[in-house]
Amino acid sequence: MNKKIIITALVGFFMTFSACQDWLTTEPLDQITEASFFNTPNDFTVYVNRFHPHTGGTYSWGDAHTDILVYSNNPPSRLAGEITINDGPGYGYADIRRVNYLLKKIDEWEGDFSAIQQAAGEAYYFRAYFYWNLLRNFGDVHWIDSVLNMDSPELFSTRDPRNVVVDNIIADLDTAAMYLKADRGNGYSRLNRWFALLLQSRVALYEGTWQKYHDGTAFGVQNADPEKYLNIAAQAAKEIIDSGLYSLHSTGDPENDYYNTFNWRDFTDNPEAMRWTKMDLTQDINAGRKLFYLAYPEHKGFTKTLIDQYLDIEGQPIAVSSLYQGDATIENEVQNRDPRLDQSIFTQNNPLYVYDDGTVDYYTVTFGRFFQDVSHSNATGYHVRKQYYEYRRYHHTQHEETPTLNDRYAEVLLNYAEAKTELGTLTQEDLDISINLLRDRVAMPHLVLGNITHDPNWAYPDLSPIINEVRRERLVELAGENFRMDDLFRWAAMSYLTGTRAIGARADQFHHDPGLPLTNDGHLDVFQNLYPGGYQFNVDRDYLWPIPESQIRLNPDIGQNPGW
């Protein structure tokens, strides 16, 4: 009996109606039965609402523990190859089982399907989303699309190949896109067709590049077909583009538009917002201390790996630029650079606080206190400004209503450009409807095929100039938005980071001693003592998490991931 109880964790606990107490309050809990629910269209909506928190949330330090953002007091153990077989996430199917249960009830619905069509579309979206998380963590996983019982043979079966799982995810998203409403909506409540297509483009791009760049390795896919997925990614992104429902936020102010894209108080009318989190203190939904944490970095910071990727204002790499002012100070580094750099990190002339009476506190005061105490410490000296909002009345030390822009149209443009580039079918017209729109917002020169300056410091010297530049654009546009680790993994790019460490700004520009190790040329070398040989990511093992040992004991046929 104990074994059966543990096995149940593989597919999630069985949904009982007494477990629905968080969303069913119309009658006493001891009277909630299957017969009393799923009788009205609203019941299906109420049930699917439980999954909505997965599409939002609050993040202030996205891409933490990667090569572009680190915590000096919390080393990037996965990047360094230090994870163990017990460090990974659980192989959990609880939410998938809940969605499968809902889909079963949808199939049994005898009323007008149009009345529950939106809920059905959202259910298919969430099943795809939950499987997408499993795929990224473990690769091959069990595809289960029904409600299992204690004796179901699937509990003791081998995992399905990742391409089978991806095909099912894409099929679920096709169904979701078909059922979901096609209007833009407000971006924070009901899902729409375009959000499903965004996830489809993301998943397909991930799988297409994974199959392409992991080919011939332990993580390669049998019967790989990267072009199939890259075409799906491009088509899904292009459909969103052609809808005309979304565009980039731009007021014609290249020095501020990128920064201001992220600090709206209500993103309903932000043309770029595809999904955002609305906070409401009356509903006990809050952002915690988001702005407060951004104002005081407490050991966190962007790295020089990111800073050095920004081009100069003429579109030239800094290695060959005549406009680059060097890195003696952060102020020098941002001069004559892609305006997104100055809008992503604090410099001394930025307002830190603007008060209701018009008084302004500039960041120069905070900079002067850098490394004076814990609140003003920073791993690298590059203090993240992206997502910040300087108006003091919105800051709170406990509970803020600061919303978060979680998914935006810029990703659609980047997914499209990258998929076309990887397919080898990218045209100048493709660039002009994607990457060059991002550059227009910040008044940067267009990326022109056949006229790309060689960068001696390209991150991926073995790949073509256009692939390097498309990846550069993705990095600087999406920095801090939680894409970086996925990108490095799907590109099989971790070998480029072997032996490197997080490097920061020049230490001698700060008024107080950072108390951190330095490179030979005086830059902060955050993990010099911890990783004297640099990061040692194991490319034969660490691209996937291990299957937990507890699951292997329950089902030896589940197998283990490479290297574990």
The residue that leads in pLDDT, 443 or 397, is 443
Q: What is the pLDDT of residues 481-501, one digit of tens each?
A: 999 999 999 999 999 999 999
Cα Rg of the chain (Å, integer): 24
Q: What is the pLDDT of residues 217-252, one digit of tens each?
A: 999 999 999 999 999 999 999 999 999 999 999 999
Domains annotated for the chain, with CATH where assigned, are: 2-55+86-180+546-558 (1.25.40.890), 278-300+315-404 (no CATH)
Over 60: is that where the pLDDT of 4 sits? Answer: no
Residue identified by tokens 């991930």 is: 206
Please give the pLDDT value at position 326. Answer: 98
Separation CA 171–CA 189 (nearest Å):
23
Over 70: is that where the pLDDT of 411 sits? Answer: yes
Separation CA 120–CA 401 (nearest Å):
31
Q: What is the pLDDT of residues 515-545, one digit of tens each?
A: 999 999 999 999 999 999 999 999 999 999 9
Please give the pLDDT value at position 427. Answer: 98
Separation CA 123–CA 106 (nearest Å):
9
Band of pLDDT at residue 284, cut at 50, 70 and 90: confident
Share of the chain above pLDDT 70, in %: 93
Please give the pLDDT value at position 345. Answer: 97
Please give the pLDDT value at position 155. Answer: 86
Please give the pLDDT value at position 234. Answer: 99
Q: Say if residue 532 is exposed, middle or buried (CB neighbours under 10 Å; 0-12, 13-18, 19+).
A: exposed
Over 80: is that where the pLDDT of 422 sits? Answer: yes
* Whole-number average pLDDT of the chain: 92
Over 80: is that where the pLDDT of 314 sits? Answer: yes
The most distant pair of C-alpha atoms in the chain lies apart, rounded to whole Å, by 75
Residue 458's contacts (CB-CB under 8 Å, 6 or more residues apart) are 465, 468
Over 50: is that where the pLDDT of 6 sits? Answer: no
Q: What is the 3-state secondary structure (H, E, C) of 187-223?
A: CCCCCEHHHHHHHHHHHHHHHHHHHHHCCCCCCCCCC
Over 80: is that where the pLDDT of 305 sits? Answer: yes
Q: What is the pLDDT of residues 26-78, one digit of tens each?
A: 333 333 456 679 999 999 999 999 999 998 877 767 899 999 999 998 999 99
Residues 458, 459, 461, 467: is their CA dihedral positive or negative? negative
Please give the pLDDT value at position 467. Answer: 98
Please give the pLDDT value at position 160. Answer: 97
Please give the pLDDT value at position 120. Answer: 98
Over 80: is that where the pLDDT of 1 sits? Answer: no
Q: How many helices (H) and strands (E) are present in the chain, helices listed first?
A: 19, 8
Please give the pLDDT value at position 33. Answer: 59
DSSP per-residue letters across 322-376:
SS---SSSHHHHHTTB-HHHHTTB--TTSEEEE-TTS-EEEHHHHHHTTTSSSTT
DSSP per-residue letters across 400-468:
----EEEEEHHHHHHHHHHHHHHHT---HHHHHTTHHHHHHHTTPPPP-TT-----TT-S-TTS-HHHH
Q: What is the pLDDT of residues 433-481, one digit of tens each?
A: 999 999 999 999 999 999 999 999 999 999 999 999 999 999 999 999 9
Share of the chain above pLDDT 90, in %: 86
Separation CA 218–CA 250 (nearest Å):
45
User: Average pLDDT, stretch 18-32?
Assistant: 34
β strands within 227-317, DSSP E: 273-277, 300-302
